[in-house]
Structure 1
């Protein structure tokens, strides 16, 4: 059974999760601004060759993986929390051995 979190632990966890989400939103904003600039540059400065799609797709994959780590794996009932709980229990069992 999982012990309840203290108010300080709840506050620290909430700040950490909010910071992770804010980091993703900043990442997404920079992605949009930079890729709009690159797209404009490719269209108006270098002709119509669509080379700007490569950084868009590569960085987009990174943005998606960042989002998965924040919103899927970083949530309270997610995989990460279950793994942390299992490790905590394993360490407690080892500590209680004579």
Structure 2
């Protein structure tokens, strides 16, 4: 992935890392590749939000310090949305139903 992202970086192609925290989408990927956006996986968000909120905040800070935008998956309550907005992250989840 690193070679591919380097190859396309000169033509303004943005790479996103989806499902961060699951499988091979890990800290090493953030550090060694040229991702522009990191999407934190719902399972990671919920687990950290409930038990390790301070670590989640540090993780968001780390990702942003690498120059990436952060999207938090699994936003399903106003409390989740408030957290996401407080930490200047984009949000994705079932809180945002289809508009009627």
Fold in common (TM above 0.5): no
* Higher RCO, Cα 8 Å, sep 6+: 1
* TM-score, structure 1 as length reference: 0.29
| Structure with greater helix share of residues | 1
* TM-score, structure 2 as length reference: 0.29
